[in-house]
Structure 1
């Protein structure tokens, strides 16, 4: 499981976020201010240093955290490919806002001097992404090491655990707040999963990001979920032999999400090589 074809093809939001994390972390690291960038109840609500709200989202406190965090963000680009950049933008914004508010409330409630400044970085987005990762990405392979059984998802969980405990309580609180934010998104609180940005906002990130080299054609954005009747209609729709056979890149994208290769190919055939629609078909088949 590697999140699909290499690079940031069809994932402009993720690409922008990862590049911003590298730039902010390096910039403030050179200035020696990395340890002072985390969210602080006193700084935000009492001293009104609102710039920290933005900086704390992108700048990691240390190089090891940047490495593990960037790796997880890069892997989780699979969700942007799955739901489209527009809806993924809503997920990103919701995760960041909700997790940041929870962190500030947690600091005020706990009143612990050791938590005056939490660790910085996009912990809210990263750990929100573990919620759909747990529920929506199936295990494709399992293997044993001595008496222990691992799956292809184990390495992602281990990287997340390393990041979660990197600064002990200072990183544990942001991580737990991110998981809670992801859970709220999943249960569709305030119907957030139906929200979409105007197209020009989502496409702004595509223009802002560096262009990808090669890779498959862009995904159809925000393809509506197929109903049972639409799926059945796709099964029976006459198609030419050339249109029936999906590309290897499209199959690889679905296989990287954890779906069986043969099922992925058949879903692409029925969805006429639309990856978003094929993903909906596969997810619906698993839920029945």
Structure 2
């Protein structure tokens, strides 16, 4: 097992813990609101306001037989299980990259579509299980209907970059997120129903079933008013492009980059790289060491990564770091975004 793979696993595991308070949702106000509201309401409902837990129970019988349709909303507000709260928050933190890619208006419209499709599918699935005389308990509460559908674009659009093997099982930069999703989904029949229905709703949205993408549109006026009212509470300063995430992941990322480039160019290439040498000065550092600088990236390579939603400046730096290797450059950009 290579050192690079070990560093990658450590980055995936510790980044949410170290960076969750540093630019958690830069340029992702919808994710920031959902994460903040979900976490706060979950803590309140589970501890000081536990007498109101029943209002957030996702009970099919109460929704269908007693027509308490409002539970479809309140059941999405708070997690009633602490494990679901922690894992769900980490996954939604990772998936905020889709809001940056699509834009907040389109991303919020997408979440509304997930909610509509997911709710209908979940109620139908529970109804079928009851007809088959399964002993059903309430479905898990919390915004899981927003999380599992995002595994569809995550699987389809994010490149799969293999990092190594563990016991013969290939591990990629996406394995950690899949593991977390399975951890929640494998808890019971009810969690499986929510996960499967969420994935199906993600597919239906992607296929534009019933022209849902044209039906659900957030008007500019509404988005502008909401931002003016709540913008000051959810706005965060954009980090400087040359500054890497804080915490233990900084050294892990640097060590990983050192290993990758050393494998391509020989040992000692990053011997003098330290906190005072930013990544933007990599090309100058190579010349000082009499190591040939990489050729300029081609326009086709740049455009291919720009089309994935990254800025041209970041793409050029990533290609420089990876010596124009598209796989390594994509891996670098994805880690920098997380």
After TM superposition, the score normalised by the length of structure 2 is: 0.61
Q: Give SS of 1:142's match.
A: strand
The match for 2:206 among 186, 195, 206 is 186
Bigger radius of gyration: 2
Q: Can you list the C-alpha shifts for 1:182-204, whole angstroms capped at 9, x where unaligned?
A: 01011111223345310133342
- Do the aligned partners of 2:56 and 2:77 also contact (CA within 8 Å) in 1? no
The match for 1:145 among 157, 161, 166 is 166
Could you say which residue in structure 2 is the equivalent of 1:162?
183
Could you say which residue in structure 2 is the equivalent of 1:72?
91
The match for 1:115 among 121, 127, 136 is 136
User: Which consecutive residues of structure 1, in runs of 5 or more, have no partner in the other structure?
Assistant: 218-230, 236-244, 266-288
Q: What is the CA–CA distance in structure 2 between the aligned matches of 1:101 and 1:206, rounded to whole Å? A: 33
Alignment partner of 1:61 is 2:85: no
Q: Give SS of 1:121's match.
A: coil
Shift of 1:93: 0.3
Sort the Cα spacing of 1:210 and 1:102 in 2 relative to 1 into closer, same or farther, 3 A.
Answer: same
Alignment partner of 1:43 is 2:67: no
Q: What is the CA–CA distance in structure 2 between the aligned matches of 1:130 and 1:94, rounded to whole Å? A: 15
Sort the Cα spacing of 1:20 and 1:263 in 2 relative to 1 into closer, same or farther, 3 A.
Answer: closer
Sort the Cα spacing of 1:45 and 1:197 in 2 relative to 1 into closer, same or farther, 3 A.
Answer: same
Could you say which residue in structure 2 is the equivalent of 1:221?
none
User: Which consecutive residues of structure 2, in runs of 5 or more, have no partner in the other structure?
Assistant: 1-11, 17-21, 242-298, 304-310, 333-338
Alignment partner of 1:8 is 2:28: no
Moved more, 44-53 or 197-206: 197-206
Could you say which residue in structure 2 is the equivalent of 1:270?
none
Q: Give SS of 2:79's match.
A: coil
Report the number of matched residues: 237
Sort the Cα spacing of 1:10 and 1:250 in 2 relative to 1 into closer, same or farther, 3 A.
Answer: farther
Shift of 1:37: 2.6
- Do the aligned partners of 2:56 and 2:76 also contact (CA within 8 Å) in 1? no
Alignment partner of 1:214 is 2:231: no
Alignment partner of 1:173 is 2:190: no
Could you say which residue in structure 1 is the equivalent of 2:44?
27
- Do the aligned partners of 1:25 and 1:59 also contact (CA within 8 Å) in 2? yes
Q: Can you list the C-alpha shifts for 1:27-61, whole angstroms capped at 9, x where unaligned?
A: 21123354773322221122232332212112112
User: Could you say what the CA RMSD is over the residues aligned between the two structures, in angstroms?
Assistant: 3.4
Shift of 1:153: 0.5
Q: What is the CA–CA distance in structure 2 between the aligned matches of 1:250 and 1:70, rounded to whole Å? A: 32
After TM superposition, the score normalised by the length of structure 1 is: 0.71
Could you say which residue in structure 1 is the equivalent of 2:223?
202
Could you say which residue in structure 1 is the equivalent of 2:252?
none
Sort the Cα spacing of 1:261 and 1:206 in 2 relative to 1 into closer, same or farther, 3 A.
Answer: farther
Shift of 1:88: 0.6
